[in-house]
A and B are shown apart, each in its own frame.
Chain A
Amino acid sequence: MQFEQNFANEKDSIDKIHDFIEQHCIDCSIDSAKTVKINICADEIISNIVHYSKAHLISVKVTRGDNAMVVISFTDDGIPFNPLKETKEVDTSLPPEERGIGGLGVFLVKKMMKEVSYRRENNTNIFTIAI
């Protein structure tokens, strides 16, 4: 089962992408706890694209494999950007006063998803998460 849709790269698309993912997670019979995790991670990825990529389009694909794994991929035509490489590690053992505020998003994605990957292909960034 696979669903794919293109969205304009603008702030208003963030809500639309969340609704798209939520709807197709329901169509794929994905439980609500997993759907919430997917949406939290999707928010981190989409906000990075919207704020930094200078892309025109964001394509979102939701795939449910036979092995019950859900794969979501985000493709944008923006400047090369690998969030996995660019983001600093977050030291969550430090008290909040001493913590830098950046980097939390990708940290959460890595912690909450089973697989996270980035590749650059045909002048697009392809970020894929799976749970």
Chain B
Amino acid sequence: MILEGRIDSANAEEWEKKINAGLPEEGDYELDCAALNYISSAGIRIIISLYKTLRARENKLILKDVSDSVMQVLELTGVSEFLTFI
């Protein structure tokens, strides 16, 4: 799944549907963040909910090529500790 542009309160609902639709039936889930400019708390909520789903079935949420600004939000909210980065 490729994330791009911004994930904010204006488009979080659409992103949530898209991201959930791309969730594999089994195994880890990789989100390519190379083209993701920024994420607000509306996006963090999606990440937390997805992490919970994957953790419940013992899989990982993997974020690939996260930019500094996205990483800062993940770190400030304490979410980065629970994710896998490549």
Contacts and interface: CB of A to CB of B under 8 A. Distances in A.
Secondary structure call for the B interface: helix
B10 A39 contact: no
Contact of A108 (B9, B40, B55, B69): B40
Nearest to B48: A96
Given A40-B38, A104-B41, A11 B10 contact: yes
Given A18-B6, A18-B10, A37-B69, A111 B76 contact: yes
B40 A99 contact: no
The 10 closest A-B pairs by CB, nearest first: A92-B78, A47-B9, A14-B10, A104-B41, A43-B40, A105-B41, A43-B8, A36-B69, A96-B48, A36-B38
Interface of A: 11, 14-15, 18, 33, 36-37, 39-40, 43-44, 46-47, 50, 90, 92-97, 99, 101, 104-105, 107-108, 111-112
Interface of B: 6, 8-10, 37-42, 44-45, 48-49, 51-52, 55, 68-69, 72-73, 76-79, 82
